[in-house]
Structures are given as C-alpha cells and as structure tokens.
Structure 1
C-alpha cells in the first residue's frame, strides 16, 4: 500500500523546503568558529588561533578540506 496518495495523507501545512535552505555552504565568509566546528573541535582560544591561521593561509577553502 502506497503512502503517497495525492491529497489524502498530507496536512494543509505541508510544504517543500526551499532549495536555498537545503545547502550547507555558508552564504557569508567562513569564520574561525565555523572552521573549528567543522573540524569537530571544541571552541577554545587555542583552536580559534589555529583556525585564524588556517584561514589566513588557505582562505575559505580551508573548510572544504575538512568536509567529506
């Protein structure tokens, strides 16, 4: 039995998620906090310094290197 019958199982407040909300790439500059969190590290002064240095040398592409 299919659960995708038109109109029958959907509530009136169901809607599609806009495409712009489905992407995880930031719409702004990558921050040191973004980089630390993407690396799976705790935000500390030491990891923020690491992230700042990495962003200075690699730019926003630094975060892409951490993602699978």
Structure 2
C-alpha cells in the first residue's frame, strides 16, 4: 500500500484497538502507594516524620560494632561511656 492510499494513523485498526482497551498496563501500576512518580505531599506547616537509628534501644555492644570496633570489653566500656555522655547523639553520629 502506498502512502497515498494509506488511511491516517488515527484511523488505523491498531489505534482503534488501543483506544478501546481499558485494561491497565501492569508496568504503570504502582499499587497505590507513594513512589518516585507519585510522591506524598505535606500540608503547609506539616512536619515530615523522620526516623533515625536512635529511636530504637541500643546496647553499648551494638554501638561498638556499629562503629566498626571489635566488641572487646574495653571497646564496649568506651561505647557505654559515650552513650551515657551523649545519649542519642552518639548513635546518630554513627548510624544516621
């Protein structure tokens, strides 16, 4: 078929089939949750809920290991003193 005899693209059977198709394309379905294409927007003045590593209980041995120290009694004691002195800030510096 030559270009002169070909119907316009919008009148082709393929386009008509695509228009009639109401089925969602699985590649475009997000599951309804927020993602990169569908972010959640906050209302003006609303603060985001941020979670840090310090929101859970930490033992001195956990902090020592998170810092990359061997869990020797000396390092665990050093981590205990740091937790006692700095509290959540000691954890947030290591595990933000």
Are 1:29 and 1:60, in contact at CA under 8 Å, matched by a contact in 2? no
Relative to the length of structure 2, the TM-score reads: 0.41
With over 3 angstroms needed to count, the CA separation of the structure-2 counterparts of 1:52 and 1:67, relative to structure 1, is same
Aligned residues: 49
Relative to the length of structure 1, the TM-score reads: 0.55
- For structure 2, the residue ranges without an aligned partner over 5 or more in a row are 1-24, 27-50
Report the aligned-residue RMSD: 2.5
Aligned to 1:29: 57
Structure showing greater relative contact order (alpha-carbon pairs closer than 8 Å, 6 or more residues apart): 1
2:55, 2:82 → 1: CA distance? 20
1:64, 1:48 → 2: CA distance? 17
2:91, 2:76 → 1: CA distance? 14
